[in-house]
Amino acid sequence: MKKLKGIAASPGIVMGRALVIGSEDISIPKKTIKESAIPREITRFEDALTKTRAEILNIRDKVTHEIGKEHGDIFNAHLLVIEDRALIEEVINQIKKDRLACDYILSQVLKKYMESFLKIDDEYLRERVSDINDVGRRIMRHLVGTQKMPLAELKEKAVIVAYDLSPSDTAIMHRRNVIGFVTDIGGRTSHTAIMAKSLEIPAVVGIEYATREIKDGDVVIVDGSGGTVIANPSLIEVQKYKQEQTRYDEFNKALKKFKDLPCITADGRRIELSANIELPEEMDSVISHGADGIGLYRTEFLYMNRVDLPDEEEQYHAYKKVVSRMGPRPVIVRTFDLGGDKFLSHLEMPKEMNPFLGWRAIRFCLARPEIFKQQLRAILRASAHGKLRMMYPMISGIAELKEANQLLKECKTELKSKKIAFDEKMEVGAMIEIPSAAITCDILAAEVDFFSIGTNDLIQYALAVDRINEKIAYLYEPAHPAVLRLVKMIIETGHSKKIWVGMCGEMAGDAVLTPVLLGLGLDEISTSPVLLPEIKKIIRLMSYEESQEIARHALTLTTGVDVVHFLKQKREEILKRSRSKK
C-alpha cells in the first residue's frame, strides 16, 4: 500500500484501476516488427503523412482567411517539413533496415534533425526547430493518437494517472469511464482542476511522483476532497474509504434540500448564487444544483480540441442554447480567454517564457479583432434569446476596456444595419483579475455595468504565485490579508460607482470564506455547481450583520493562516445552528 499526498482539486471519493499515461515528451516504445510487417508499417507512416499534410493545408487556408496571409504562411514552413524527401526516405529506410515501428523511428529522426538545427549558427534555421517539433507532433497524433484518444474513448472505467493533463484533455474525458484522475504537477486553480470539478470527477493534482509510484492496473483510491491517493490499499483502508464515500454521498444528499430555496440571509439580504461552466453540456448540473444563473461561461473551451476556429454561426448557437435553457436567469458569457494554460493546436501562439503574463485573453483578442468580432457578434445575437450579460477577461487598464467596447459598438452597428436582433441593454462587465485593474477600478467603472472578481488570477498576480505550480501551492492563499483588502476595495469602489460586483474565481466556492465575502458586500457568487448548495446553506444560516462583523474581524488579522483558523471556528458555530434546528 502507498499513500500519496497532493492537492485536493475536485471533491469526491472513488476507487478504481489506474491507467497510467505518459506526458507528450515521454519516449515512444521501441517496438520491433516482423519482416513481413514492413510494407504495412511503411504504409502506416505514409498514411499519417498524407493525413497530416491535409490537416496543415486546411489549417493554413483557414488561418489565411481568418487572420491573414502573413499568419497562414507560417504553415507553409510546416508543409516544407512534411514534404522533405530526405526526412521521409530516412524514416522508410530505417524501418526496412532496423525493423522497428515507424513511430519510434520517426521520433528518433526528428530528434536528430532538431538537434542538428539547434547547433547551426543561424537564427532563422534554429527557429525551424519549432516547426519540426510541431509537425512531428501532428504526425505522431495520426500514428499513435495522443493521450486525448484513450481519454475520449476509454472502454472501461479507470482512474487516469498522468504527469499532467491539459484543460483540453480534461474537457473530453468521458464522464462515465474516467472516474477520477491524479497528476504529478498542477495547482488547485489550474483549468484542469476547474474542469474536473465541473465534470464532477474527483481529482488530486500536484503529487510529485504519482506516475512513478502508481503502476498501470493498480487499484487506487482517489480522495479528491482530502487530496490523498492510496495505491493498492489494504482491506482496512478500503473499508475506511467506503465509509468516507457514504458520508460524502449523504452530505450531498442532505444539501439537496437547499436546491430550490432562495439564497438569502436570515435577515433578508439576497445574494445571487450562480454557476461557472466551461461547456454547454454542464447545464444539467447547473439546473440540478439550483443556480440562480451562470456567472462565468468560459467560452474558450469551444475553441479547443478541434482543428479550426468556431465561426460566428456555431458560437451563436452554442450561446443561444445556454441562454435559452436558463430562461429568465442571467448568463454571463465571458469572451474567450486563450493563452496561459489553455491553447489551440492550430493557432500559432508562440511559446512564451511566462504564458500567464503573456499574450492572453483580451490581449490576444484586441490583436486579432477579426476573430474577436466574430465572437462579439455571436454573443450579441444570442442576447436576443434571454438575459445575457457579457464580460471581458484580463483587463489591465481603461485603454483596453475602451478598445474592446469600441469593437462591441462596431458589431452592434453592423448587426443593426442588417436588422439582426440583439439586446440593446445587454450588460457589459470587466473581470477584475489583475492588480492594476483592481487599483484603478474606480476608473474602469465608467465603462462597464459590473465587475466580476477573478480571484484565480488576481491571487497569482498579487502574491506572485503561479496558480499551477504545486511547489509553491502553500503560498497561494485566498485568505491572505492582501487579497482580502483587494476584494474589499473592489467591492466598495464598485458600489460607490453604482455598479454591482460579483466573484467568479475559485475563492468564491470556498465555503469557509463565504461569511467574509458576504460581509464584504459581494452581490454575486459564482462557482462550480456542485459547491453551490453548501454555500447557500451557510448564507441562509447567518445574518448579514453577523457576516459584516466576521469580515471586519478577519481584516484585522495579519496572516492568511490566522484568517482561515478564525473562519473555520466561525463556520463550526454557524453549522451548529442547523444541527440544533433538527
Contact residues: ligand PEP, CB under 6 A: 296, 298, 337, 433, 454-457, 504-505
How far, in whole angstroms, is CA 10 from its chain's centroid? 13
Report, in Å, the least distance between residue 456 CB and ligand PEP.
3
Size of the site for Mg ion (CB under 5 A): 3
Report, in Å, the least distance between residue 457 CB and ligand PEP.
3
441 in catalytic set: no
List the catalytic residue out of 78, 191, 346, 385. 191
- Binding partner of residue 455 among Mg ion, ligand PEP, none, CB cut-off 5 to 8 Å per kind: ligand PEP
Report, in Å, the least distance between residue 303 CB and ligand PEP.
13
- Binding partner of residue 296 among ligand PEP, Mg ion, none, CB cut-off 5 to 8 Å per kind: ligand PEP
Report, in Å, the least distance between residue 111 CB and ligand PEP.
35
- Binding partner of residue 510 among Mg ion, ligand PEP, none, CB cut-off 5 to 8 Å per kind: none
Q: Minimal CA–CA distance to 4: which of 129, 150, 159?
A: 159
- Binding partner of residue 341 among Mg ion, ligand PEP, none, CB cut-off 5 to 8 Å per kind: none
What DSSP string describes 103-117?
Answer: HHHHHHHHHHHHHHH
Convert residues 393-432 into a mask of x (bound to Mg ion by CB under 5 A) and - (unbound). ----------------------------------------
- Beta-sheet pairing, 331-334 with 388-392: parallel
Number of neighbours of residue 356 by Cβ within 10 angstroms: 16
Q: Minimal CA–CA distance to 315: which of 417, 390, 366?
A: 390
Q: Which is nearer to ligand PEP, 141 or 197 (CB)?
A: 197
Q: Which is nearer to ligand PEP, 433 or 534 (CB)?
A: 433
State phi, psi for 351 to the nearest 5 degrees. Answer: -70, 130
Q: Is 466 near Mg ion (CB under 5 A)?
A: no
- Binding partner of residue 298 among Mg ion, ligand PEP, none, CB cut-off 5 to 8 Å per kind: ligand PEP
Q: Which is nearer to ligand PEP, 455 or 493 (CB)?
A: 455
DSSP tally for the chain: helices H, then strands E: 24, 16
- Binding partner of residue 108 among ligand PEP, Mg ion, none, CB cut-off 5 to 8 Å per kind: none
Q: Is 457 near Mg ion (CB under 5 A)?
A: yes
* Residue showing cell 519540426: 132
The grid cell for 352 is: 512564451
SS3 510: coil
Q: Which is nearer to ligand PEP, 182 or 194 (CB)?
A: 194
Q: Which is nearer to Mg ion, 16 or 454 (CB)?
A: 454
Contact pick of 454, 502, 529, 560 for Mg ion (by CB under 5 A): 454
Evaluate whether 6 touches 205 at the Cβ level (below 8 Å). Answer: yes
Edge to edge, the sheet with strand 7-10 lists: 2-5, 228-231, 219-223, 13-21, 158-162, 178-183, 203-205, 7-10
Residue 447 is given by DSSP the state G
Q: Minimal CA–CA distance to 18: which of 258, 237, 231?
A: 231
Cα 19-22-25 angle, rounded to 5 deg:
170
Q: Return the CA Rg of the chain.
A: 25
How far, in whole angstroms, is CA 109 from its chain's centroid? 35
191 in catalytic set: yes
Q: Is 433 near Mg ion (CB under 5 A)?
A: yes
Q: Which is nearer to ligand PEP, 163 or 392 (CB)?
A: 392
Q: Is 340 near Mg ion (CB under 5 A)?
A: no
Q: Minimal CA–CA distance to 190: which of 345, 10, 58?
A: 10
Q: Which is nearer to ligand PEP, 326 or 437 (CB)?
A: 437
Residue 222 is given by DSSP the state E
Report, in Å, the least distance between residue 487 CB and ligand PEP.
12
- Binding partner of residue 390 among Mg ion, ligand PEP, none, CB cut-off 5 to 8 Å per kind: none
Give, in order, the Cα–Cα distances in Å from 258 to each of 68, 291, 506.
52, 11, 21
Residue ranges binding Mg ion (CB under 5 A): 433, 454, 457
Q: Which residues are catalytic?
A: 191, 504
